[in-house]
Amino acid sequence: MKGNGIFGFALGTVAGALALIASPAMGGTVAVCPLGCPYASIQAGINAATPGDTVAVGGGTYIENVVVNKSVTLQGERHRGRDKREGHHRDRDGDDPKKVTILPAISNANPCPGSSLCGGAASNIILVEADNVTIDGFTLDGDNPSLTSGIIRGDADLDARNGIITNYLTGVWNDLTVSNVTMKNIYLRGIYASSGGTFDFHDNTVTNVQGDSNSIAMFNFGGAGVMKDNKVSFANDAISSNHSTGIQFLNNTVTHSASGLHTDNAGDGGGTADLIQDNTVTHCQTDGYGIWVFVPYIAPVVKNNEIHGCTVGLAAFGQGNPVTILFTDNHLNGAGASSSDTSNSFGVIVSTDRLGFGANDVSASFTDNVIRRFNTGVYVEQHCELFVSIFNDCASGGGQATATLITM
């Protein structure tokens, strides 16, 4: 069903069908629901849509691996907060009939090492290969109870390698928006702008992305965009970017993860400075890091963040160009940190080490930060292979490297 106008959901469903109301706007609406709509699968709705359309998905569970290959909006049925004001009620078993859940139809969480898409073999819940795509209001669960992978993490059997990912094998895809999505039980990448395009990830909840040591809940590679107001828990690496051309990490909350937020090789392809501001990282996993910067080419700003219960609060490793990272107005508290060596916790580490890629100078400025309840407040080191142990005294190595802590 297609019409002129942005869809709006009515108060409920009638005989399983999705009821729509229209308001003037560009693009048409394609209705998808389990029963009584023109299309019963999200993929069928996308296939029927034209660029600029909204694919309006009614409450229910959809078992499919979705490919978005045109500029459309995927819109799940209304959020529970709106429903309460409009008199909507949950079923007796506590489930919300307007909740839209997508499960993978294929189990292939780890078909290869060292690649997210694995040449097309990976199971992705939503694969994006178009510009101007919006995904809003869904629950994506990488554990399909009808499938078995044998890969158990966080009490879930992981079937999906990736949750939402752009297809870097087919091009650079811009203007991807992901919002109000709950993502859980993913092996490698939860929400990933992989192609070097632009994006806006906001108001999402991501949990249990810890298939292996390379798993990342929310990630950018090579592009520019915003990650704002997201909540991440139980991830190996919660929120990060590599080779960015300008990322704003704003007001995100991270808990129970091995690493909170970091940016690596920022600006090596040009662009603007990354900003990491107003984020909260708490209850890190054992030997976990709060916020850190790795080999920047354009100096990021790390400002007004709260870090509590991590073995390392803030860290700076090396540089790509002679730039000075600014850490300002951050509040760090080491109380409750889980460390494999309880005598070692650090408010700040500044290191020349590039974590297996040699060593060079590092420059960081720390102003108006509050550091509490760490064994060591500030630790400055010259070349130390942190893959072996991050807490060595670094008595040798890196003879030509220097570390400079400018201000405190």
Q: Is 120 helix (H, G, I), strand (E, B) or coil?
A: helix
Instruction: Give the contacts of 140 (CB within 8 A, at least 6 positions apart).
Output: 101, 102, 125, 126, 160, 163, 164, 181, 182, 183, 184, 186
Q: What is the pLDDT of residues 300-334, one digit of tens each?
A: 999 999 999 999 999 999 999 999 999 999 999 99
Q: What is the pLDDT of residues 58-92, one digit of tens each?
A: 999 999 999 999 999 999 995 433 443 344 444 43
Closest residue by Cα to residue 326 from 364, 280, 363: 364
Q: According to the model, what pLDDT value does residue 20 have?
A: 43
Surface-to-core class of residue 230, CB atoms within 10 Å of its CB (0-12 exposed, 13-18 middle, 19+ buried): buried
Task: With a cut of 50, list the residues of the chain below it in pLDDT.
Answer: 1-25, 79-94, 385-408
- Where do the structural domains in the chain lie, given as residue ranges? 236-408
Instruction: Give the contacts of 330 (CB within 8 A, at least 6 positions apart).
Output: 291, 302, 303, 304, 305, 306, 307, 313, 314, 369, 370
Within 10 Å of residue 408's Cβ, how many Cβ atoms?
Answer: 13
What is the spatial distance between Cα 216 and Cα 239, in angstroms, rounded to a whole number?
Answer: 7
Q: Residue count of the chain, please give it.
A: 408
Q: According to the model, what pLDDT value does residue 357 have?
A: 81
Q: What pTM did the predictor assign? A: 0.88
Closest residue by Cα to residue 137 from 166, 165, 186, 177: 177
